[in-house]
Structure 1
């Protein structure tokens, strides 16, 4: 993902033909800051697996974690604190930097989610001293694996997930229906993934309940930190005129990171030489930094209720995530209102921020031509106007792909050449494949997807193995 490969669309970093939100907003006079996960620059791996592990273990220093001209401070951010690589030990993260300077030691009570949010609070207090507006991007690492949380947060959820997959999933579905988030007529609850194993017969139920408790604790800690950020905005009298947008980049992950074992971005020892367990037998309970574990596909399926599948797939469970917008002085719709009519995408943030800030989206930047944005501003929705958003959307990720036109969506897994077809207006959870009934729709969407893929650098694919 972050390797520079031999195809234009697979360079592994934000190329010079693009601009970041921070770069555009700086042109409109904004102060800019970022905390958290970067993970959009080429990763400088070491020559041997042994040296790579020594680096990951904080036992040897090999310098910069990526080319410095790809760091956040080279892409529009005045301030940055966080991890350049993606995966981290939450108690002692690899690739941690302040600006461009590596943070070589952390306090004994360090926890990364707290540091990300508390640094954001410090940035807000600093930015509030100036008359210039500010933009702050906070990229949480939680609840990405490895499952690591503070004991006091885990304790809150020790009993919660002992009810098992089905009970938790049914209760989430019930609450979504009761609160009006979903219409059960259009959003039926599909069968649970691999429901042949009942919770009562699960030989690993103690481990599995603990894993989800740690996952919940990680989210709880993040939520506490977001509360401190809001408190800081309130204390500096910035809250009412600050647009806050909260969203997730994808559905919950089904990965079994334990099976990956140590290497690349996963250490095998702590800084002081204690071994880290990759326990495939589920005998070591997750939570501290001495184990690398993740929730796995069954809990990911539950976490993505009511949808099917998960991160890396193009079904709704992988790509359909909620977004919350808060702006007391700017949003005119009723608080708590749910907008189901507008089809949105993360690319909509750029034109939204351009419109609100008065910035201009450039055609060139630092002497390079810039790709035009294909996003649509969300400002009309904020102001109470009707907006349907995108009439068509497409994606591709490691072979998984979809094409959406209106309510029709074709989708395929990464290892499947054949499309499935769903009508999302009637079946948001993709339970009834209509491909055989409407082959002409499949053909049309297949043609649109291929046109998009060939004009958006999905093709050519890299020649070397990924």
Structure 2
């Protein structure tokens, strides 16, 4: 009979002792595969209402648990900082981007008083592996500028290698250090700490990430559990995808933004993800813009087709990860978590820069399609889907990446764990969670101890709470309050109430229990609650290094 213990109360050493006296093997602890998409729309996946073909993620949802109110920090690198450390991003050192702004909460890389999931689980006997986008090392704003050609001729370190994944607890890493990539020839690609000097013909970064993840699973030690972090860049701009994938969606978006919002909204209602009584579809951004009068319909439909192709390709590669787990007999005892780092992006990259090439390696000019003169998709273009599609793929939520409305901070989360979930497959939970909870969940399941010191450094207390009670089918006593700040956009959530101040604007107040999509501002009728919640925000900002903000 298997001995059952409270996971969170035993260290790896204690677990090993229990194994010897109780017949439990240390390798009975679950493997953990954490998969993160980049700039994914809230309703992009089929299991969240989308029309994009995502059969592998859909089957994980059908046999697993979906969270309808799980939160990120609204942008790539701050979310990754919180995900890896269990701390709010400013407390982890990455309150904005990967540039050192000279303030404690804005150092642009993980602070010395942080510890990563890989460091904690590795100390508890786990194998720790990572593929894909790191985006937690300083990005030098230096000599790589708009005019370079052959962008790997200067192959020095892309940042301080001491901040790379293999020096923050991961046994192995293959992927990119910086945030933006050419999918066919990614800049800042490394294996360990060594720059990758060339990629083979036919290379596509999304495929490489998934194939490398499958290889790591196949080569993992059978005697020990593993933690594998799969950090995709898809579908972050630039819009790059193989032509055959784009062709699958050539006619899908010809009816425009409003048709997409309406169809996704209806599917989300049918799936039980939203209740139209408490989540009305809000007016879209720029309501005066008409698809019928849009002179760039072919370009816009193509841009969304490339976005869909990027998500489709990612899903197919995730299928190969699932196959690898199955072939190794490890699918049943592996917790798979899939989420996104933020909502869809309205960004339109306008020109070459430090991480955006002016030419391909073989000298072809890269066109930044701000005038929509060239169709997106090939390596010679840099484009994003823009605000209209970003609003649509975040259906039914307001706004998008980098903002603290729900469309920026709410991520689709899928949990799949055949041997451990205590809920019926296909269940949807509305219990709120946050990326700071992932560290606590991993520590809980690994029977690990979150340290007060690590390698001689004092470590900040973990701020997340384990999701295991929810995964087991129970109710979790969650966070009293959740907080956000990014480039001046502020928010907090307490119970069903959300206080939000878009950058430079007054506080707004929404009752999410009755108004999930933030359509009716209650601030004027509840000034007492605004004052009470804003005082909580101010105290958090002072405590968690949000203040002082950079100039």
TM-score, L = length of structure 1: 0.96
Deviation readout 1:279-312 (Å, 9 max, x if unpaired): 2211100000101000000000001000110000
Trace 1:249-260 onto structure 2 (pairs within 5 A). Answer: 249-257=341-349, 259=350
> Which of 252, 261, 264 is the aligned partner of 1:172?
264
Say which SS state the counterpart of residue 54 (structure 1) adopts: coil
1:390 aligns to 2:479 (yes or no): yes
1:294 aligns to 2:372 (yes or no): no
1:277 aligns to 2:398 (yes or no): no
Q: CA RMSD in A?
A: 1.1
- Tell me: CA distance 1:388–1:157, structure 2 relative to 1, closer, same or farther (3 Å): farther
Asked if 1 retains the 8 angstrom alpha-carbon contact of 2:131 and 2:173, the reply is yes
1:136 aligns to 2:224 (yes or no): no
> Which of 204, 224, 245 is the aligned partner of 1:111?
204
Cα distance in 1 between the residues matched to 2:155 and 2:475: 54
User: Hey, what does 1:361 align to over in structure 2?
Assistant: 450
CA-CA distance at 1:366 after TM superposition: 1.1
Cα distance in 2 between the residues matched to 1:451 and 1:59: 46
Higher relative contact order (CA 8 A, sep 6+): 2
User: Hey, what does 1:439 align to over in structure 2?
Assistant: 527
> Which of 173, 192, 200 is the aligned partner of 2:292?
200
Extract unaligned runs of 5+ from structure 1: none
Aligned residue pairs, count: 455
Asked if 1 retains the 8 angstrom alpha-carbon contact of 2:265 and 2:395, the reply is yes
Asked if 1 retains the 8 angstrom alpha-carbon contact of 2:144 and 2:354, the reply is no
TM-score, L = length of structure 2: 0.81
User: Hey, what does 1:84 align to over in structure 2?
Assistant: 177
- Tell me: CA distance 1:48–1:87, structure 2 relative to 1, closer, same or farther (3 Å): closer
User: Hey, what does 2:319 align to over in structure 1?
Assistant: 227
Asked if 2 retains the 8 angstrom alpha-carbon contact of 1:20 and 1:75, the reply is yes
User: Hey, what does 2:249 align to over in structure 1?
Assistant: 157
User: Hey, what does 2:80 align to over in structure 1?
Assistant: none
1:3 aligns to 2:3 (yes or no): no
Cα distance in 2 between the residues matched to 1:326 and 1:187: 26
User: Hey, what does 1:102 align to over in structure 2?
Assistant: 195
Deviation readout 1:245-293 (Å, 9 max, x if unpaired): 0001111011111x2x001211100001110001221110000010100
Asked if 2 retains the 8 angstrom alpha-carbon contact of 1:256 and 1:296, the reply is yes
> Which of 142, 158, 161 is the aligned partner of 1:65?
158
Say which SS state the counterpart of residue 491 (structure 2) adopts: strand
User: Hey, what does 1:454 align to over in structure 2?
Assistant: 542
Extract unaligned runs of 5+ from structure 2: 1-96
Deviation readout 1:311-366 (Å, 9 max, x if unpaired): 000000101112100000000101110001x1100010111111110110000111
Asked if 2 retains the 8 angstrom alpha-carbon contact of 1:177 and 1:183, the reply is yes
> Which of 186, 191, 196 is the aligned partner of 1:93?
186
Asked if 1 retains the 8 angstrom alpha-carbon contact of 2:500 and 2:507, the reply is yes
- Tell me: CA distance 1:59–1:334, structure 2 relative to 1, closer, same or farther (3 Å): closer
Say which SS state the counterpart of residue 529 (structure 2) adopts: helix
Cα distance in 2 between the residues matched to 1:135 and 1:97: 20
Cα distance in 2 between the residues matched to 1:93 and 1:4: 24
Asked if 1 retains the 8 angstrom alpha-carbon contact of 2:155 and 2:197, the reply is no
1:182 aligns to 2:274 (yes or no): yes
1:325 aligns to 2:415 (yes or no): yes
CA-CA distance at 1:58 after TM superposition: 1.9
Deviation readout 1:176-199 (Å, 9 max, x if unpaired): 001101111000001111121111
Deviation readout 1:371-393 (Å, 9 max, x if unpaired): 11111111111111112522211
Asked if 2 retains the 8 angstrom alpha-carbon contact of 1:393 and 1:405, the reply is yes
